[in-house]
Structure 1
């Protein structure tokens, strides 16, 4: 570890679109950090719900960026970053919030080799009641040099927007984020490319809250096929961006082959194929081939043997069962609301037992 010298300025950028109901909690949490040098930038992506008035009410305590037209997640990230000056940069979703010592914990974990710090978050509902932890504690973060894992399967164990912090010079290298490809999921672009330029540090404690509610992008479980198609396409965009970036660093990868080592991608790809084959984004996919790739990829995971074996068996069952039964098994895993009562009752104990 090589500690950072002196006091470190930190920027917290809050991209907002029609989250007026949650926005004050988010902004107040950013302003309430116990670190001495924090600037708060709030980007409104042309909301229609009164968000702009809430932002203006904070006056000079924040930097307000009111976009003239809606551009999506990446556009809001790009706008906020251009207005920021911090040595460490965080993007806090407007429906999430940080605990008062979040920035201090991140700064304490930082050193001169760091490109990204990642932290766990409490999953909370609309009334801020803690429901779980993301990522689950039994899934260890990947940290240090994660490039071998990225080049092998296009993914490593990380977290979502509000649990991430980035080195400014790294962001200057990989931004602006392509706005057409990342109208949603801009954090996926950043977390995929940042590790090319430094180490990833992890904080296992929860530094804030990740809110799940009916209006946000994470909660559209009832639209299984739509969600799966989006995630499959998002993975292709991430891997194309990674391939372009590493080629400039003298490295090579084949995105189409790399992605077949990623169990999370293969889950969503199976879901897309099973739920709505006519709109599935990958021609010539077959359930059995995807399931076989998924089983092999599961056995390569960093997890207990029991967890890897159960996931491999799940993939094979989805690949070989009749379509209607396969769809039920898929839904139970990917959409908690679809699970029978007995499965929902035992899902957490089973997950913990799997280690």
Structure 2
């Protein structure tokens, strides 16, 4: 059986920790090790972690001071020695069979650097939902290294469900640590570096669950879209200033990323303008600074490249249509 090392960083998520770790330990047809790294939580996380460590597959690092998320990520990378590696926050969870589906795909094609799948969203403290049995093996779509990086640059972002990303450990070791200079977009930059080492496998199935709540690492960031875009731009710049700069045609990819980020800012500005949100002004300023031509010619082609364009448009108009009814009530 393939072996998977899973690192679970935790800070004051005791209420979610047990369900997260149990969803890992219950994975079948793979050999599991789990490392829980607690960053000096003030809730009952340490007590829950100790109870989970009664399973010999669970190891603990209980810190007396909070060293931050990067220290946990990077300690986990150094600790890993299995065939495959997964980093997931303690408020997320795996669906049954997720690790087998991921490792089977990478065992069949040894060139794949990492796989990812779809996620099921969970809000607040809602219980983990029952997920229908997923296809095994699921349909697999391969993204060539350069295609994956190019798509990220063209769109100015490429969202992947983090807890579904299973990485070949040898590739993660070559890529190395998360960069502490990127507090909110370190994952994006690591994905780009990983993509340099082989194709990426996209599994057409639900692999993990992502919980959204007020204490999420990214909740505050997502509340201000321009900050998220700026952090994404910082990740792209870091990538091309380091390993990405060694790629053939890196200059053209860097320029593509600049346009992609500008176009993303432009259409985010349009969305905020339609909602009468003052952040639209800052988004337009950013878009025009990065791509002055967008002030004259709207970047319509960008929308055609986004896979979620139709869904976003439908959601927007659905909300507009319900407004009169709500006002009448």
Report the TM-score when normalising by structure 2: 0.76
What is the alpha-carbon distance in structure 2 between the residues aligned to residue 28 and residue 104 of structure 1? 16
Mapped contact 1:232–1:268 kept (Cα < 8 A): no
Shift of residue 148, structure 1, vs aligned partner: 3.0
Q: Secondary structure at the match of 1:216?
A: coil
What is the alpha-carbon distance in structure 1 between the residues aligned to residue 145 and residue 295 of structure 2? 25
2:73 aligned residue: 77
Confirm whether residue 232 of structure 1 aligns to residue 226 of structure 2: no
Number of matched pairs = 302
Shift of residue 268, structure 1, vs aligned partner: 4.6
Q: Secondary structure at the match of 2:2?
A: coil
Structure 2 counterpart of 1:66, from 35, 45, 62: 62
28-37 or 145-154, larger mean C-alpha shift? 145-154
What is the alpha-carbon distance in structure 2 between the residues aligned to residue 56 and residue 87 of structure 1? 26
Gaps of at least 5 residues in structure 1 are 1-6, 133-139, 315-331, 346-355
Mapped contact 1:153–1:259 kept (Cα < 8 A): no
Confirm whether residue 39 of structure 1 aligns to residue 54 of structure 2: no
Residues 136-183 of structure 1 deviation map (CA, whole Å, 9 limit, x = unaligned): xxxx997320423523652575512111111112212222111131x3
Change (3 A) 1:298 1:36: closer
Shift of residue 12, structure 1, vs aligned partner: 1.1
Shift of residue 53, structure 1, vs aligned partner: 2.2
Change (3 A) 1:66 1:267: farther
Change (3 A) 1:8 1:188: same
Change (3 A) 1:276 1:162: same
Structure 2 counterpart of 1:16, from 10, 13, 25: 10
Gaps of at least 5 residues in structure 2 are 132-138
Mapped contact 2:163–2:210 kept (Cα < 8 A): yes
Please tell me the root mean square deviation across aligned C-alpha atoms, in Å: 3.8
2:301 aligned residue: 296
Change (3 A) 1:123 1:264: farther
What is the alpha-carbon distance in structure 1 between the residues aligned to residue 185 and residue 246 of structure 2? 23
Q: Secondary structure at the match of 1:18?
A: coil
Change (3 A) 1:129 1:38: closer
What is the alpha-carbon distance in structure 1 between the residues aligned to residue 193 and residue 212 of structure 2? 26
Q: Secondary structure at the match of 2:115?
A: strand
Shift of residue 260, structure 1, vs aligned partner: 1.8
Matching of residues 25-36 of structure 1 within 5 Å: 25-36=19-30
Change (3 A) 1:53 1:281: farther
Change (3 A) 1:129 1:27: closer
What is the alpha-carbon distance in structure 2 between the residues aligned to residue 46 and residue 288 of structure 1? 50
143-152 or 268-277, larger mean C-alpha shift? 268-277
Change (3 A) 1:72 1:284: farther
Change (3 A) 1:105 1:55: same
